[in-house]
Each structure stands twice: as C-alpha cells, then as structure tokens.
Amino acid sequence: MLPLSEKNTRPPCQGAVLNNNSASVTAWEWLMPATDRSRIFFHGDSFTAHPLACAVAAANWTMLTSAPDPAPRKMEAFWNEALAPLRSRPQVRDVRVCGSIAAVEVNAPGGYLAAVSRHLRCRCLEHGVLVRPLGPVLYALPPLCTSAASLERIAHALTRAADSLA
C-alpha cells in the first residue's frame, strides 16, 4: 500500500497487489513445462476479472485505504536492512524496495525471458519459498500480515538464490 499512498502513483501490478493469487504462479509451468516461453502471456491471471477476486480486491482496497497500516513501513525497513548486503555483490545489478515490495535484480542476460529465472526459482524452492522471477528479477510481495519469521525466510531464500550465481 505504501507505493500508492506515499508515491502518489499506480504500481505496474496493482492487480497483483490486490489479489496476490499465487496458485497461478505454478499452474502455467506445470501445464506447459516445455512450451516456448516467448509465446506465454505471463500476466493472463492478472486480467481475468473473476467476480469473487474483484469483490475481494474491492474489500481489500476499502480496508487498506480506510486507516494507515504500519505494516508496509515495517516491511520496507526490514527489506532495506535484510537485503542491504546484496547491494555490494557483483552478481547483483540492483536491489529495489518500496513498501512491502522487494526486488533483487541479478546480472544475467536475457531480459524478461532470461533463462536464469528457472534457476532462481528452484534455489528459492530449496529454501521453502515460492517465487516467480521475472527474468533476472527476483521479487517478493508478501501479504501485509506476513510474520517476521516468514519475512526472514523469504529474505534468506532471495539471498541464497542470488549467491548461487557467484
């Protein structure tokens, strides 16, 4: 919520912020493991406009905008501290944090379809964290109710995944 309220901008993935539906994260890969990745519409789940998801999103929006929530600020502080060591690693191009969102971009060729995304996802899964990298970018967008222990686990998995490229 912080990116919306503090920056006065719309995030590029507002649907993901409101719905955060992780089931579809793995569905396309399970159904089409050998498919040409250049032909996949990766954000199809973001545009389904499912009536129940829309109702939940509208209720979430009302709840999130009715009173300030300290969670995004706490998460932002956590991400900045936990991911700070990655900023100096040669295999990391950039670390970006905005509210509850954290992104670690690794130095790898290929852009959005970079082959390294599968490697990064597998390394995170080894640490019990399900992510869907966008090419060379690992990102986390956990729910605002995520526990400190879970945030630590996510940060550890992102760090280990990035370090696996060293």
The pLDDT tens digits along the chain (166 residues) read 444 444 444 444 444 444 444 444 444 455 555 566 666 666 655 556 678 888 888 888 888 788 888 888 999 999 999 999 999 999 999 999 999 999 999 999 988 888 899 999 999 999 999 998 999 999 999 998 899 999 999 999 999 999 999 8
Its pTM stands at 0.69
Q: Total domain count for the chain?
A: 2
Range of the domain at 23: 2-66
Q: Where are the alpha helices (DSSP H) in the chain?
A: 2-7, 14-19, 23-31, 51-66, 71-83, 116-126, 148-163
Q: What is the pLDDT of residue 45?
A: 57
Q: Which residue's entry shows tokens 């969670």?
A: 71
CA distances in angstroms from 1 to 10, 17, 72, listed in the order given = 10, 8, 7
Q: Where are the alpha helices (DSSP H) in 32-147?
A: 51-66, 71-83, 116-126
The arrangement of strands across the sheet holding 92-98 comes to: 92-98, 101-106, 137-140
Query: Among residues 47, 66, 85, which one ends one of the domains?
Result: 66
* Pair 82, 26 in one domain: no
Q: What is the pLDDT of residue 10?
A: 41
* Pair 33, 88 in one domain: no
Q: What is the pLDDT of residue 37?
A: 66
Q: SS3 for 37?
A: helix
